Amino acid sequence: MKRNIFSIHLLLIVALFTLASCDQFLEDEPTDRLPADGAYNTLTDLQLNALGPIYRNIGGNGDSQGLQGTARGVWDLNTFSTDEAIIPTRGADWYDGGIWQNLFLHRFGNVDFTGDTWNYLFKEVLACNRALERIDAFAAAHPGEDVTSVRAEARALRAMFLFYAMDLYGRVPLFTSSAPTVQDMKLQNRSMAFRHIVTELQTSEYSLVNERSPRLGEYYGRMTRPVVQFLLAKVLLNAEVYADDDWTDDWTDDGHPDGSAMTWTVDGSEMNTWEAVEHYCTRIEEEGYSLANEFSDNFVTSNDESPELIFTIPMDIYNYSNRFTQQFRSLHYNHASALGLNGENGPCATIEAMRAFGYGTDDADYRLNQTYYVDEVYHEKSFAPVTLDDGSPLVYYPLEVRLDLSNTPHETTAGARMHKYEVDLAAMSDGQLRRNDIVLFRYADVLLMRCEAMLRDGRAGAAADDLLNRVRGRVSMGYRVATLDHVLEERMLELAWEGWRRNDLIRFGQFTRPYTDRPQTDADRHGYTLVFPIPGETLTACGSDQNPGY
């Protein structure tokens, strides 16, 4: 049974009361002594009971919970606000008060689950703080026990949740208590949060074990050294975005942060940002990570053995409650039904995505049919055609996508649908409870990050070309010279539906451009939409100003 579960409303409540009342709302047990029930009497107890609930909440089984797998949360905000995927209105389906249209159109003040996502992330920050207090109390009561590693896990987990929050919302509070005061809840500038996250990850790195988190065993699904190294590379790759406290300014101004001019102490050496990114990527390769033989190996039902995976959300039909909604949400009702699932006929690829994959051309990318269902649909195992209610074949029309498909000939069938994960025919809960672990971080991304860092550092050439073409060569695609434009396109091809597209587009200065039924708004032109609005209740509680434009 999970311990120390926080209501999503507690974050909002905490700053509305005096310091004395904070304890009443956030503390079900004092943190200056160990609980009397014996749950923290040994180091193993400490790991299981202090960190276990946090790990379980990296995934989720309800809306806005988890980093991936559920609806109306981190993954939706990072995916359906981009040129990668869209949830069109399909007649009476998928209007939902306009939230999906507003998300795609960057009218983020009218997307009602941005606050729920904020609350999820900071509920987990609070849980990490609670765990650290438990760990410190245990260390005081057991001076002979070494809690260095478990403490590093909790700090690295907290830094990860702060990274996602900072990326989405810009300014975040940096409180370190499970009972924060009003002052603790003040929003900090993004540049300060960015530096804090890097410091926390670097501090944790070498106290963690050098084990493969996606492999079954003691460290399955846990924060290990390669996971932290991946996060350091990812955070630093976005340094020019995160170091800019005024994201509404003109990026052509001389005052915009320059990653080449920022310096970092990494393993005792002074490096600029791009050198630091390359260093962490290289460390991961030195630890034995490699591309899987087949692109699809990363997404099969037994993907825990892939040599490419760095961090995943563990999934199991019987042992875990995490849900995976993305694929069954996307499939047409009849397509899902033929597979024994309950489809919702919603999300699909944009026309931009289909053009990037070369749909309809002689040069279509090998990953097209592994990432999407397009054209006529067949059953995964029997290969029999899937049919519509009238008996005609079900055909997806990738280039007929519009923001509002109501009363069009392809209202229910427009758009390529998500195919990336192998369909688990033994799945339960309408396909949500399945065995494919959800991929968060993988080595192909490491190669592309390293390539990009070299290019941004002015080191184009054979070494950068090799990194890009190792990813392309795995899927037998033609050789390309490494350029930033080619890296951005390759990230679309390789990492589609993995939750990185918004992050990528912002870093490349492409997030606010117009695409499929999405004109550039005034807010886009002024840079306001590079972050989401801070929930109003949080602003009231901590006395901070809203992000510009909202």
Tell me the two tokens of residue 180. Answer: 């924060």
Q: C-alpha angle with apex 529: 525 to 533, nearest 5 degrees? A: 145
To which H or E segment does residue 313 belong?
strand 309-313
- Measured distance CA(293)–CA(5) in Å, rounded: 41
Report CA 53 to chain centroid distance, whole Å.
Answer: 19
pLDDT recorded at residue 543: 85
Q: Are 27 and 134 in contact (CB under 8 A)?
A: no
Residue with token string 């004109």: 519
Cα end-to-end span (Å), the chain: 40
Regions of the chain where pLDDT drops below 50: 1-34, 36
Q: Which helix (H) or strand (E) holds 468?
A: helix 462-474
What was the pLDDT predicted at 17?
A: 27
Residue 469 CB contacts under 8 Å (≥ 6 apart), including other chains: 479, 480, 482
Which pLDDT score is estimated for 252? Answer: 52
Question: 381: how many CB neighbours lie within 10 A of its CB?
Answer: 9
Global confidence as pTM: 0.93
* CA gap 39, 467 in Å, rounded: 48
**Which residues on adjacent β-strands are paired with residue 270?**
265
What's the rounded Cα separation, in Å, for the pair 136 and 31? Answer: 9
CB atoms within 10 A of CB 249: 13
Interior/surface letters 427-442, b for 16+ CB within 10 angstroms, e for the rest:
bebebbbbbbbbbbbb
What pLDDT sits at residue 40? Answer: 85
Exposure string of 182-193, with b = 16+ CB inside 10 Å and e = fewer, is bebbbbbebbbb
Count Cα neighbours of 302 within 13 Å in the Cβ-side half-sphere.
Answer: 1
Asked whether 314 and 322 are in contact (CB, 8 A), the reply is yes
Give me the pLDDT at residue 381, please.
85
Domains delineated in the chain:
10-250 (1.25.40.390), 315-436+500-532 (no CATH)
> What's the pLDDT at 254?
62
User: Can you tell me which residue has the tokens 């890009």?
Assistant: 468
Residue type, 243: A
Check residue 67 and give its pLDDT. Answer: 98
pLDDT in tens, 169-194: 999 999 999 999 999 999 999 999 99
What six digits make up the tokens of 428? 């339960």
Q: Which residue has the tokens 């002024």?
A: 526
